[in-house]
Amino acid sequence: MTPSHTVRTAGRSRVRRLAGALHRRPRLRLSLLLTAPLLWLAVLYLGSLAVLFVSAFWTTNSFTSEVVKVWSTDNFEALFTTPVFRQVIWRSIGVALAVTALCAVIALPIAFYTARVARPRWRPLLVVAILTPLWASYLVKVYAWRLILSEGGLADWLLAPLGLDGPGYGLTAAVVTLTYLWLPYMILPIHTALEQLPDNLLDASADLGARPGRTLRSVVLPVVLPSVAAGSVFTFSLSLGDYITVQIVGGKTQLIGNLVYSNIELNLPMAAALGTVPVVVIVVYLLAMRRTGALSSL
Amino acid sequence: MEAPAVRLQGLRKSFGETTAVSGVDLEIGDGEFFSMLGPSGSGKTTVLRMIAGFETPTAGRIELAGQEVTGLAPFERDVHTVFQDYALFPHMTVEQNVAYGLKIRKVPRAQRRARAREALAGVRLEKFADRRPAQLSGGQRQRVALARALVGRPRLLLLDEPLGALDLKLREQMQVELKAIQREVGITFVFVTHDQEEALTMSDRIAVFNEGRIEQVGTPAEVYEKPATPFVAGFVGTSNLLTHEAAQRIVGRPGVYSVRPEKIHVLTGGAAVTPAAEPDRITADGTVAEVVYLGDATRFLVDLDAGGRLTALQQNLETSSEDVAALRGARVRLQWQQRHTFRVPDAV
Nearest to A85 by CA among A282, A275, A239: A275
Residues A154 and A258 in one domain: yes
What pLDDT band is residue B230 in, cutting at 50, 70 and 90? confident
Residues A19 and A80 in one domain: no
B61, B9 Cβ separation under 8 angstroms? yes
- Considering only residues A165 and B334, tell me which one the structure prediction assigns the higher pLDDT: B334
Q: Give domain limits for chain B.
A: 6-235, 241-344
Domain boundaries, position A11: 3-40
Residue B234: its pLDDT value, please?
83
- Tell me, yes or no, whether A59 lies in a domain: no
Residues A240 and A291 in one domain: yes
Residues A183 and A239 in one domain: yes
Select from B73, B87, B91 the Cβ nearest to the Cβ of A204: B87
Nearest to B297 by CA among B275, B274, B321, B278: B321
Residues A184 and A277 in one domain: yes
The CATH architecture annotation of domain B241-344 reads: Beta Barrel (2.40)
Structural domain tally of chain A? 2
Q: How far apart are CA B114 and CA B36, in angstroms?
A: 34
- Using the beta-carbon criterion (under 8 Å), do A211 and B75 form an inter-chain contact? yes
Residues A17 and A82 in one domain: no
- Using the beta-carbon criterion (under 8 Å), do B74 and A207 form an inter-chain contact? yes
B106: which chain A residues are within 8 Å (Cβ-Cβ)?
Answer: none
What is the separation of C-alpha B281 from the centre of its chain, rounded to a whole number of angstroms? Answer: 31
Mutate to test the interface with A, among B48, B104, B144, B155 (most CBs of A within 10 A): B104
Residues A7 and A77 in one domain: no
Question: Which stretch of A234-243, B50-59, B67-76, B276-285 has the lowest confidence by average pLDDT?
Answer: B276-285
A95-104, A281-290, B240-249: which is most confident: A95-104
- Using the beta-carbon criterion (under 8 Å), do A208 and B52 form an inter-chain contact? no
A210: which chain B residues are within 8 Å (Cβ-Cβ)?
Answer: 75, 100, 104
- Considering only residues B321 and B72, tell me which one the structure prediction assigns the higher pLDDT: B72
CATH code where residue A276 lies: 1.10.3720.10
- Using the beta-carbon criterion (under 8 Å), do B73 and A210 form an inter-chain contact? no
Q: Tell me: the pLDDT tens digits for B123-180?
A: 889 899 999 999 999 889 989 999 999 998 898 999 999 888 788 888 888 888 888 8
What pLDDT band is residue A1 in, cutting at 50, 70 and 90? very low
Residues A226 and A175 in one domain: yes
- Using the beta-carbon criterion (under 8 Å), do B80 and A207 form an inter-chain contact? yes
- Tell me, yes or no, whether A46 lies in a domain: no
A203: which chain B residues are within 8 Å (Cβ-Cβ)?
Answer: 52, 54, 74, 81, 83, 87
Residues A29 and A148 in one domain: no
Nearest-Å Rg of the Cα atoms of chain B is 24
Q: What angle do CA B17, B62, B229 make, to 5 degrees?
A: 65
Q: What is the mean pLDDT of chain A?
A: 88
Give percent of chain B with pLDDT exceeding 90: 48
B85: which chain A residues are within 8 Å (Cβ-Cβ)?
Answer: 198, 200
Residue A146: its pLDDT value, please?
93
Select from B75, B85, B101 the Cβ nearest to the Cβ of A200: B85
Question: Looking at CA atoms only, how far is residue A188 from chain B in angstroms?
Answer: 21
- Using the beta-carbon criterion (under 8 Å), do B87 and A206 form an inter-chain contact? no
pLDDT for A5 beyond 90: no
Query: Mean pLDDT over residues B296-302, rounded?
Result: 90
Nearest-Cα residue of chain B relative to residue A209: B75
pTM of the model: 0.76
Residue B327: its pLDDT value, please?
84
Query: What CA–CA distances, in Å, run from A189 to A125, A177, A202?
Result: 16, 21, 20
Report the relative pairing of strands B256-258 and B241-242 from DSSP bridges: antiparallel
- Tell me, yes or no, whether A49 lies in a domain: no
Q: How far apart are CA B100 and CA B149, in angstroms?
A: 10
Mutate to test the interface with B, among A207, A221, A228 (most CBs of B within 10 A): A207
Residues A36 and A167 in one domain: no
- Using the beta-carbon criterion (under 8 Å), do B90 and A204 form an inter-chain contact? no
Q: Which residues pair with A101 in a beta bridge?
A: none
Mutate to test the interface with B, among A196, A208, A215, A292 (most CBs of B within 10 A): A208
Residue A12: its pLDDT value, please?
77
B80: which chain A residues are within 8 Å (Cβ-Cβ)?
Answer: 207-208
Q: Do domains B6-235 and B241-344 have the same CATH topology?
A: no
- Tell me, yes or no, whether A168 lies in a domain: yes
A222: which chain B residues are within 8 Å (Cβ-Cβ)?
Answer: 91
Task: Supply the ipTM of this predicted assembly.
Answer: 0.81
Question: Looking at CA atoms only, how far is residue B91 from chain A in angstroms?
Answer: 6
- Tell me, yes or no, whether A57 lies in a domain: no
Select from A207, A211, A225 the Cβ nearest to the Cβ of B81: A207
Give percent of chain A with pLDDT exceeding 90: 44
The CATH class given to the B6-235 domain equals: alpha beta
- The two most distant CA atoms of chain B are separated, in Å, by 77
Neighbouring C-alpha atoms within 13 Å toward the C-beta of B131 = 14
B88: which chain A residues are within 8 Å (Cβ-Cβ)?
Answer: 204
Amino acid, single-letter form, for residue A295: L
Residue B276: its pLDDT value, please?
53
- Tell me, yes or no, whether A68 lies in a domain: no
Mutate to test the interface with A, among B83, B96, B105, B144 (most CBs of A within 10 A): B83
Q: How far apart are CA A193 and CA B218, in angstroms?
A: 45
Per the rule left: phi > 0, alpha: psi between -120 and 50, beta: everything else, B281 is beta
Q: How far apart are CA B243 and CA B254, in angstroms?
A: 8
